[in-house]
Every structure is written in structure tokens, then in C-alpha cells.
Amino acid sequence: MRAFRLTAYDAPPSMVQMDVPAPKPDELRLQVAACGLNFADLLMMRGTYQERVQPPYTPGMEFAGTVDAVGASVTGFRKGDRVAAFAGQGGLAEYALCKAESCVKMPDAMPFTDAAAFLVAYGTSHLALAHRAHLRPGETLVVLGAAGGVGLTAVEIGARMGARVIAVARGANKLAVAQQAGAEICLDSGADPFDLRAELKALGGAHVIYDAIGEPLATPAMRALHPEGRFLTIGFAGGKPPAFPANILLVKNLSVIGLYWGGYLRFAPQIMAESISTLFDWYENGHLRPHISTVLPLEDALDGLQMLRERRSTGKIVITI
């Protein structure tokens, strides 16, 4: 089979020919149809992600395909099932192994490209907004990095949950995508000058901040929160985690809430399963539509990773195999 293999951190992966692997007793082997790219893939390839995978390995943490072989102890799946998987690695190949517990059966009408763009982005935003921040109808949600892979799903889910959504992104094209996803107000972080705190204060402040960027937007956004506001820290695509003044958190009774979606697979898998079930229901009822800006074949996966690195995409980039 063909696979992209990373042999050292910070070195570009290259296409190789390798044997099709055999599944362990608790694993499924998928014939991969599509692999969604995530910012976390870039961090993992640099060795800076919270879960380190030692090279050599095949990148691609989320993917979708058809069950090709079933491990001896696996129940609930059979050859031919269409599944989406969050495996942490392996998706940029023609075949991939994954723990059965990290796989879910797809809705019948869901294309593989949608499934490969679905679990991480929608799962992150739904658990963050519904389970961690307890977003309520009528509250104001501010999404930083609102046109990115997870940010755009936060806009879509926030609007679905009845919030007033303010999208913050760079440039008119990205803001137009966020508006189509349900943002009521759009703010261009590329404007000069741009005072995010003043802009949000003029709009009445915020109840929840969803931050996948970090600084320089995080601190001014936090300062625009209402008393008892909630700040969701999702990631640091801007490269610098925020360092909030604790006295402001104290005086305004603010909460800073972390969300690492993948961790729920280990310590609270039932919460993750219930969230995914809700999201699939919303998808089947037409309430969610993944925004996939770019679809590339496996041989062009490096181009897709570079687009992600340079933030030239909106929504998700998907690699088809």
C-alpha cells in the first residue's frame, strides 16, 4: 500500500510503499477513503503536540473508510461497515489500523469526505460549548479564528444552540464563510487599527469566548467578558498561549475552561459518544453541513498540510485516497 511516512520531527513526510498491516485483536483495519487534516497534525509532526508519537509513523489523526478486516476480539463491527475514526495517526495511507473504540458507524447518507471532516471539529466545538461552557440560548458567543477548522463549527453549533454569535477572523472572505455558518456579527482582525476589547464592549460584551488562536486576541477578548463569563481555551494556532491576569479573573468572577476533545476517549467515552450521536442526528436532519474548502488526492497531501500551516484554508482540508 501507499502511505505518507514521517521519519523525523520537522522533516516532511514522504510517500512510501509498505505492507498492508494486520489488525491486533482489538483493532479494525480500514480501507481509507478520506482523511481530514487538522492543525494538531502539524503540531504532532513537530513533536509539540500534547500526545507525542515517535517517528516513524503515518500522520492523519481522523479519517473515514470501509472496514476491511476485524480483530479477533472486536464486536459490533463487520467487514464492509462504513465508519469514521479518530485514531491519532495513520489516515494518510490506503489502509489504516485503529482501535475499535475510536470508530463510529457513519450515517448512511454521509459522504466519506464529510465524515473525515466531522469528528474532531464538530466534536470539539459541541463538547466545549454544550458540556464545558453550558452555552445558553440568547447568550453572546465570540469565536476567535472563526473560519478555521474548529472555529467554523463553533459558529455553526453556537447558532444552532440559540446563541448570538460574533465571529472574529482575518479578511472579508473568511468572514463571509463565518456569516454563512450563522454568525450574526463579523469582526475583521486584520483591520488596522483593531481594538477587539473596544469592539466587543461596543457590541454589549460576551458571555462565552471560544478561543482556538491564543494571543494576541485572547487577552483583549477576555477583558470583554461579562461577570461570570466563560473563556474556552481550545488551541493556540497563533503560537502563543494566553497568560491572563488572575486579578481580573477574580474581580469579574470569570472561568477559564480547557477542552481537549481527544482526552474524553480515555476518561469519559460515554460523554463523547453521546455528543457524537447528537451531532450525527443534527447532520441527518440537515442542521450541520461541514465546510470543506479543499479536497486533494493523497499524492498532494503535502500541499494540503502547507495550506493548513499558512492558514490559506477555511473550514477543513480533506485528502481523498
My answer on whether 58 and 79 are in the same domain is yes
Cis-peptide into 56, omega within 30 deg: yes
In the chain the first and final C-alpha atoms are separated, in Å, by 11
* 3-class state of residue 251 by DSSP: helix
My answer on whether 114 and 20 are in the same domain is yes
My answer on whether 157 and 207 are in the same domain is yes
Q: Is the pLDDT of residue 60 over 90?
A: yes
For 180-201, b/e burial (b = at least 16 CB within 10 A) is ebbbbbbbbbeeeebebeebbe
Q: Element (H or E) spanning 201, and its range? A: helix 196-202
Question: How is residue 19 annotated by DSSP?
Answer: P
Q: Is residue 275 part of a domain?
A: no
Predicted confidence band of residue 239 (pLDDT cuts 50, 70, 90): confident
My answer on whether 129 and 98 are in the same domain is no
* 3-class state of residue 316 by DSSP: strand
C-alpha cell at 59: 500522520
Q: Is the pLDDT of residue 1 over 90?
A: yes
Predicted confidence band of residue 51 (pLDDT cuts 50, 70, 90): confident
Spatial separation of the C-alpha atoms in residues 107 and 82, rounded to whole Å: 9
Angle between the N-to-C axes of helices 149-160 and 119-126, in degrees from 0 to 180, rounded to the nearest 10 = 50
10 versus 228: the higher-pLDDT residue is 228
Give pLDDT, residue 221.
Answer: 98
Domain boundary among 261, 276, 301: 261
Name residue, grid cell 464486536: 75
Q: Is the pLDDT of residue 237 over 90?
A: no
Please give the distance of CA 26 from its chain centroid, rounded to a whole number.
Answer: 26
The CATH code of the domain that includes 34 is 3.90.180.10
Q: Is residue 179 part of a domain?
A: yes
Q: Is the pLDDT of residue 50 over 90?
A: no
Region for 239 from its dihedrals, namely left if φ exceeds 0, alpha if ψ lies in -120 to 50, beta otherwise: left
Predicted confidence band of residue 194 (pLDDT cuts 50, 70, 90): very high
Predicted confidence band of residue 242 (pLDDT cuts 50, 70, 90): very high
My answer on whether 158 and 102 are in the same domain is no
Total count of domains within the chain: 2
Q: Is residue 278 part of a domain?
A: no
My answer on whether 70 and 142 are in the same domain is no
pLDDT > 90 in the chain, percent? 94
Residue 135: domain span: 121-261
Q: Is residue 142 part of a domain?
A: yes
My answer on whether 134 and 257 are in the same domain is yes
Q: Is residue 201 part of a domain?
A: yes
Write down the mean pLDDT value for the chain. Answer: 96
Tell me what the mean pLDDT of segment 195-204 comes to: 98
Q: Is residue 268 part of a domain?
A: no
Give pLDDT, residue 238.
Answer: 85
My answer on whether 64 and 76 are in the same domain is yes
pLDDT per residue as tens digits for the range 93-137: 999 999 999 999 999 999 999 999 999 999 999 999 999 999 999
Q: Is residue 200 part of a domain?
A: yes
For 1-12, b/e burial (b = at least 16 CB within 10 A) is eebbbbeeeeee
pLDDT per residue as tens digits for the range 7-27: 999 888 999 999 999 999 999
- Residue 258, judged by CB atoms within 10 A of its CB (0-12, 13-18, 19+), counts as exposed
Domain boundary among 242, 261, 280: 261
Q: Is the pLDDT of residue 144 over 90?
A: yes
Q: Which of 124, 104, 127 is nearest to 115 (CA)?
A: 104
My answer on whether 315 and 216 are in the same domain is no
Tell me what the mean pLDDT of segment 197-211 comes to: 98
Tell me what the mean pLDDT of segment 199-218 comes to: 97
C-alpha cell at 179: 456569516
Q: Is residue 31 part of a domain?
A: yes
My answer on whether 244 and 302 are in the same domain is no
My answer on whether 235 and 130 are in the same domain is yes
My answer on whether 213 and 294 are in the same domain is no
Question: How is residue 128 annotated by DSSP?
Answer: I
Give pLDDT, residue 232.
Answer: 98
Tell me what the mean pLDDT of segment 143-147 comes to: 97
The CATH code of the domain that includes 177 is 3.40.50.720
